Structure formats: C-alpha cells, structure tokens
Amino acid sequence: MTRTNKPYAYAYALAVAVSTAFTFPVFSADDSLHVEGGALANPASRYELPTIEVISTAPLPGMGVSMDKIPSNVKTLSAKDLEGRGFDNLSDALNSGFGNVNINDTQGNGYQVDVNVRGFTASPSLGTPQGVSVFMDGVRVNEAFGDVVNWDLIPQNAIANITLMPGANPQFGLNTLGGALSVVTKSGFQFPGTRMDTSGGMFGRRQLQIETGGHGETTDYFIATNWYKDSGWADHNPSEVRQLFAKTGFQDDDTDIDLSLTAANNVLEGNQTIPLSYMGNTSQVYTYPDEVTNKMWMLNLKASQYLDKDWLVAGNAYYRHVDTSILNSNIVGGSNDPSNNAQNVIYTINQKTYGTSLQLSDSAPLLGLGNMAMVGVSLDRSRTDFTHSQQDAVVAADRSTFSSSDILLQTSVQGETDYLGLYTSDTLSLSKEFAMTVSGRFNSARVKTTFLAHALDTAGANGDFTYTRLNPAIGFNYNPTSNLTSYVSYTEGMRAPTPVELTCSDSQNPCSLPNAFSSDPYLKKVVSRSLEAGLRGKLDQGLNWSVGLFQTRLQDDILYIGTTANFGYFNNVGDTQRRGIELGLDHRKEGWDWGINYTLMDATFQSAFSEAVSANSSSSGGVEQVSAGAHIPGIPNQMLKLRLRYRPSETWAMGWSMNAQTSTYARGDENNQDNKGKVPGFAVFNLDGKYTPWTNWEFSAYVRNIFNRTYSTYGNLATNYLPGGVFNSTGNSEQFRSIAAPRSVWVGLTYWFDKPKGRAEGVGDRD
C-alpha cells in the first residue's frame, strides 16, 4: 500500500505554511462585534457559537427552535467541552460527553471505533449495520458505499459545537434510525485569535494543532490544522493523522456566506482483536499488517439570506472526494497447507459525492400564535469505484503476513446512489405553555451496482433499485414553568440498503465480507419507529436535570448472516428493538462543574432467525438459532458517566471523570447461549489539569485509565488458528476481544499569539 500521495501531501504542507504565516490576523479582532450589532447581528451566525441556546432541527441553519419546544432529549457539546478535557479523537469526545453513547473498538485503533447512540451505530467498518446520520455544516458525511462514518476525517479543533438529536428524526433524512449528529464548524467572527497547541507523552504520542481566525466588519476567515502521530500502545497499531480546515465568509445583518475546505491524509493501523488465550500479553497482535489509509478533500459553499425579519432562505452546495485503501491480514484455516496459510486482502474505495440543499424558514405568527415553519429539499449523488484483491501469504514467526506473491483482482464494482429528500416542519406555540411540532420527510433513494470484473466464471449480477417512503413525526411540549419542560413524541425514519449490502445479499452466493461480491438480490428498506417522552428542568441556578424514556423498533432490519466461518450475506432478519431510560444531572457554579449521566437500555432481536457460526458452543450442526428476545451483541445494559471539575482560580483547574458500563455479549453470540461468557463490564477513571501562569500561556496534563485497568469494549467469537502462536489448521473456538489502551500520560502547552480580550460569555473561554 502507498502511504503518501503527493497532491494531498503538497496541499497539506501548503495549508500548514499558510496557517502558520497567519499568526497575526489580517482582519481586526474587534471584540465589540461579538456583542453589539454589525455583522454578528445576523442570527444565522449563532449556530457557530460555542454555546447555543436554540437548536437547528435540520442539517441547514434555520430560525432555530428553543430547547423548551423540542420534544426530544437533545444534547450539545461545545468547543469548550471538546478542548477542556484532552480527548484523543472525536469518538472519544462523543463517548465521554454524551450519556447515551458507547463505543466498540472493533479495529484496535481509537480513530476507527464504532460509535453507538442508543444502541444504533455510526461505524467506519463496511458491513456494520448503520443507524446514525452525521452532518458537518449541512453535508451528510456518511459515505454512500456502506453508510460508514470515517471519524478521522472530521477535524476536532475546527468544531464550534455538536448537537445530538436522538431518535428517528425524519428531518435528517436517510439512516437516521436512532439519532443524528450535527457538527457546526468555527468561524473567524466567533473564534478570533491565533493559538498553537503542542502535546506529547507515552507511546510516542506527539501532536501539533494551529488555529487562527479573524474578521473585519463583514468578512472573516478561520484556519485549523492538526498533526497527530503515535507509535501505538500495542504492537503494530501506530496512527498518523493530518487534517486541515479552512473557512472564509461574508456576513452582514441579512446575509451569511461561508466557503470551507476540509482535507485529510491519514494512516491508521489496528491490532485486531486477540483470543482470550493471549491475555497474558495484551499488547500483542493476532496477525499484521492491518492498515487503513484515508485521503479526503471537501468543498462546501453554505449561504443564508434574510428576506425580511420572519423569512430566511438557506442553502448549500458541496463536493466530497474520499480515497480509502485497506490492507487486512487474514488466517486461512481448514485444510490449508501450512506453507500457504494466510491471505492479504486489499480493498480500494474511491468515492465522489456532490449535492445541494435549499431550505426556507418562516417565523411569522400563524393565526395569532407563535410559529416556526420550515420547508426544504436536498439532492445528493455519489459514485463509488470499489476493488477487492487478494494475495497468498504465509504467517511468519512474528505473525506478519508480508508476501511477494502476485496480487490478484477478485472483484471490481461500481456503485451509484441518488438521494432526494423533501421535508417540512412546523412548531406551533398553541399557548405560552404548550407547543406542538409536526414534521415529515419524503425520501427517495436509488441504488445502482455494476460489476466491472469478477474472479468467478459467472460475473456478478447488476442491480438497480429505488426505495421511497414518507416519514412523519409529531411531538408535544408542555412547559408549566420556566424551569420545567415535558415532552412526548413519535417519529419515523428509513434506511435504504447500501451498495455494499446489495452486492452481497444472496444466500446461495455468500461473500467473505466484503471480499467477493457475487450477486445483489433485492433487500427491503429498514423502517424505524420511535416513541419518546421525558422531563427536563432546573432546580436552582446552574443545576440542570433530565429524565427521558425511549423506544425504537426497526422493521426489516439488515444484518450480516454467517454461512460458514468466513462467508455470509446480508439479509432482512425481521424486527429489532432498543428501549431505555436516560437520566442526567449537571451543575456549573462558582468554580465547580460536575455531571452525572446514567442510561438503562434493553436492545433485543424481536424476530427469530438462524445463522451459520463457527465458534458458538451452543450451535447445532454449525447453525445458531436466535430467538426473539435475545440481546443484541455489543450494547451494554447500563452505562454510568461521572465528571467533576474544580477551578479555584483563573490560573488553574483540575478534573476527574469516570466511564463505566456493564457486560455485553460478543458478536457471534447473537443467541446469548455461548459458554465462553460475556465481555466483562468495566469502570475507567481519568484525570486532567490545566495551569495558566500568564495570559497567553497554558500548561496541561492528562492521565487516561489512571488505575491501568485491562478492559475491552468489544468481543467476537472466532476460531483461533494460531493457538500458542503456532499455526493449526483446525484451530480452537475462542472469544476474541479488543483490548483498550492501558494507562497513558501526556502533557501539553498552548500559546496564544493574540488572545482576544473581553469576549462575550462562553466565547473563547476555554478551560
């Protein structure tokens, strides 16, 4: 695999040079503009603030809806939340910042984890059932070929805020089965000044981040760069992440225009899961190399215009290009010759996506009642060129599979998707205390696959399918006092089968995911129906609480069904369900900041099905029978997250946090009957601290997993063909686990070249 690409490397180097050159703003950073009139009087810019009081209930900015009129347990993370606790990556921040989120580390690399929201997944792994949509400045960043989300392509230091909209909110379109994440990036108006962050520590960790922003009366710019590299805490799992974000814009009282560029060139290596028999040395790998290279650039033009004080039109147009190369080392068991007992699997995925959206918002009263209406349309088109190749190899004594054998093309597939969305929403204030929200979205998704080459004698069948549905939603809010909000809602959403699923959906021609696609029979769309109710409020100044109940049921859910140890296919397996309770309590006052989040969740299959398995002890004839009511693997029944931060003065602060969850079933144990047990639960503790001796200087220190706990967030059942590190063609059935990082320590230094003075509350006040 090639680790570098000159156009990407040159573009990144140029961007770093430009951002460094702008250590002093070319525009005035007059902080009075943050508070009074001028360009910042435009309410559309409020979504770029680190703290937001109104929520955009669609990907594009609208008039916004206040929290007391949103019938859902909506949560936000600000730039201050993201920067204050030293998160390694965005998925780590989501896991720590949202109470109803957990992660499955399926790849052995922190930038490639599955992020689960209420038991629904946004994953970078092809073939994982996806149920969460992710947007960045109105652009859907779920990649079209498998709806995957590459978390390493979202630059964390460019984020102004993130909003989590749980449930099947139809406004966010396809794949919003269990929730939507909406990322809004920083601008020079809201984040002026220039800062440089450096850090280093254990496992070869080093990082350099530079951000600079500034503005004049009506124009602004913002640039953020991030370079991160480590040698990995385990054997053969280093990472190198290079990210760039640049935005420039025009803004006055009525108009807001932003043009942004996002680029990345990342190399991520994972150490896979390892069998329980290897637990004496948790830093070892099963086999290697396992490497993912992601290269991306995206242009996004976003604009909004007030037609008058009650009417706002907004739109965007974007182009996104992602090149992904994957190298996986695999053991080949069975009767294979020990002199040829491995296989390197190589994928290339070239995706080009472009689209546009247009949205009209109206805040004019309706029949004398407060009203917030919206109507919009979105068009997205993607083309993917996918190839799969294989290379015969031998497992060496160090478990590497490097080989000089020929690389043979197995499959070449072209996938095309066309998405059309028409949506509308209206929040009507029927009285001072009572509000009703009615919304809906019509989705049309055309998914086309064309086989260009195939290793089998008979080429794979081409497919061309269209999926349509109107998804409604209705919700009610009752606010008896200014400190208490109650809500109830019903929502629906849909997910269309992706090209990667349609090209491997024939039980008579299974594939080794996604190794050898061979046919694409019809799969049904997945339909999500959610009920939600809750209360939230304030007990006194600074003390907030929330209680939420939810239930989401999927109809015709799509799963990967195993037929042998290495082969399977995608199929509609019937219904699945997630339901639970979410509790939250937090307080910020007089230097203290603490929070408690607890989630009780029950995630189950609601329809019986069977699948071939190789390592489940309860299987009969190699077939696992899954009954309705069985728990879905990888989803804990309970999660508890605590945080405490104390800032006794303006010069220093310290923080403590805990993340705990109960045990989970391993993948491959869908019937919950395997005798190898569950993946154990855990509680992990972290520390952080900051010291600001001078205005422009800040020192920080972080300790993750302070008690050096050995724990796993993910497990699967498989055959270990290397018991004791020696190849055995029959192998042993074992539970494999991904091992989380041990105790890690690093320190950082932040220097402000021109730290702005007198900002508005919350803007730039980064603990």
Q: What is the pLDDT of residues 660-675, one digit of tens each?
A: 999 999 988 999 999 9
Task: Specify the pLDDT at position 129.
Answer: 87
**pLDDT tens digit string along 77-87?**
988 888 877 78
pLDDT above 70 coverage of the chain, percent: 87
Find the largest Cα–Cα distance for the chain: 81
pLDDT level of residue 164 (50, 70, 90 thresholds): very high
d(CA 619, CA 753): 64
Task: Specify the pLDDT at position 243.
Answer: 97
Count Cβ atoms below 10 Å from residue 519 Cβ, excluding itself: 24
Using CB atoms within 10 A of its CB, is residue 195 exposed (0-12), middle (13-18) or buried (19+)?
buried
Is residue 187 within 8 Å of residue 158, measured between CB atoms?
A: no
Structure tokens at 379: 């068009």
144-158, 398-412, 454-468, 597-611: which has the minimum mean pLDDT? 454-468
What are the structural domains of the chain? 6-752 (2.40.170.20)
Say whether pTM exceeds 0.85: yes
148-152, 706-710, 730-734, 744-748: which has the minimum mean pLDDT? 730-734
Task: Specify the pLDDT at position 566.
Answer: 54
Is residue 128 within 8 Å of residue 120, measured between CB atoms?
A: no
DSSP 389-400: EEEEE---TTSB
Asked if residue 268 has pLDDT above 70, the reply is yes
Task: Specify the pLDDT at position 323.
Answer: 97
Task: Specify the pLDDT at position 49.
Answer: 65
Does 52 or 733 have the greater pLDDT score? 733
Structure tokens at 242: 């290079």
d(CA 460, CA 449): 10
35-39, 149-153, 171-175, 339-343: which has the minimum mean pLDDT? 35-39
149-153, 256-260, 334-338: which has the minimum mean pLDDT? 334-338
Helix and strand numbers (H, E) in the chain are: 4, 39
Which H or E run includes 501? helix 499-502
175-184, 262-271, 520-529, 618-627: which has the minimum mean pLDDT? 520-529
**pLDDT tens digit string along 296-328?**
999 999 999 999 889 999 999 999 999 999 999
Handedness of CA 754, 758, 760, 765 (dihedral sign): positive
d(CA 117, CA 123): 11
Is residue 667 within 8 Å of residue 716, measured between CB atoms?
A: yes
Structure tokens at 701: 């220190």
Task: Specify the pLDDT at position 45.
Answer: 66
DSSP tag of 287: S
Place of tokens 């969740």: 601
pLDDT level of residue 39 (50, 70, 90 thresholds): very low
d(CA 205, CA 207): 7
Mean pLDDT for the chain overall: 86
- Residue range 515-523: mean pLDDT, rounded: 49
- Residue range 134-163: mean pLDDT, rounded: 94
Is residue 301 within 8 Å of residue 314, measured between CB atoms?
A: no
